[in-house]
Structures are given as C-alpha cells and as structure tokens.
Structure 1
Amino acid sequence: MLNTRSPNAKVIEMVYTDFEYGDRLIKERDVARLMGVVPRTMMRWRKLGCGPKYVRLGNTLVAYRESDLREWQEKRTFSHSAEEVTAA
C-alpha cells in the first residue's frame, strides 16, 4: 500500500517530516489515492473514528504518518476470513 517508489505509483506529494517521530507525513488526498478510496471516505472514517490516526496541520490540511498507516493496515490484515471474524 505505501510503496511510493513503485514505477507504477502515481507521484505522491509529501508534506512535512514529523520531527517528533521522524516519520513522513502524507496528505490526505494522497493517502486516499494510495488506498484506492476517495478523499471523502477518509473524512468519513476520521469522523467515525474507524480510520488511521491523523495529524491536523491546519484548518483544512490533514496528513497521516507513514507508521500510523502501516499499523492501521497491519490490524486489518488477515490470512483467512475466520481470522477476521474472531478479530472483530
């Protein structure tokens, strides 16, 4: 999901480096593109509290730490559907 160096990946615009964690911060629209969803879905997940942790950089600018995206993705990675049911 977060392979921004892939030759097939679209250009991803990095925002800042989070100095506290040493992580790259990725703009919401770019995270949505990487995940294959529209930015509105990211906003809905944020409102419902079911998406990855985010960083608010301004009134309208939201970004995500790479490490938080990896963690969120790992929590939703299963080897079979029965494993997914028991995790819920």
Structure 2
Amino acid sequence: MSKITQEQLAQRWHLSPRTLEQWRWLGKGPKFLKIGARVLYREEDVEAWEASQVCQNTSGPLSSEGL
C-alpha cells in the first residue's frame, strides 16, 4: 500500500498544499491518514477520489449509473 505526502499530492494535482489543508478542514477531497502531525494519502484512496471526479459536462461528476 503506497502512501504519498500532502506536498506530493499537491504537485500531482498542480494545487497548493494549503488547498489540500483547507479541503481536509471542509471534509472534501480524498481520505487521508493523520499520524501525529503528519498527513499521508493512500494511493488507492487518491485514485478512487480521482475516478469519482470524472465529469461529462459542467453539471458535476457522473453518477455511478453513468460510468
């Protein structure tokens, strides 16, 4: 089970690490692990969240029926 840091995920998505911090606070984005002060993301959770964000139009992500 591969894990990536907040910085690695921010770089992968071309986002600020601060955006990921805000998303965690708001309950958005992929699941994460909090170990002490360190935040890690499991690769499979990131990939699942990415798949859930696939859109066909600007109305939002596809429903599971549309996949």
User: TM class by shorter-chain length?
Assistant: 0.7 to 0.9
Aligned length: 63
% identity of equivalent residues:
30
Between the two structures, name the one with larger relative contact order (CA 8 Å, sep ≥ 6): 2
Structure 1 unaligned regions, length at least 5: 1-22
Q: Which has the larger radius of gyration?
A: 1
Structure 2 unaligned regions, length at least 5: none
2:26 counterpart letter in structure 1: L
Runs of 4+ with >3 A deviation: none
Q: 1 or 2, which has the higher strand percentage?
A: 2
Q: 1 or 2, which has the higher helix percentage?
A: 2
TM normalised by structure 2 equals 0.83
Instruction: Pick from 23, 48, 63 the counterpart of residue 71 of structure 1.
Output: 48
**SS of corresponding position for 1:51:** coil
TM normalised by structure 1 equals 0.64
Q: Which residue of 2 aligns with 1:81?
A: 57
1:84 offset after TM fit, Å? Answer: 2.3
**SS of corresponding position for 1:41:** helix
Aligned CA RMSD, in angstroms, stands at: 1.8
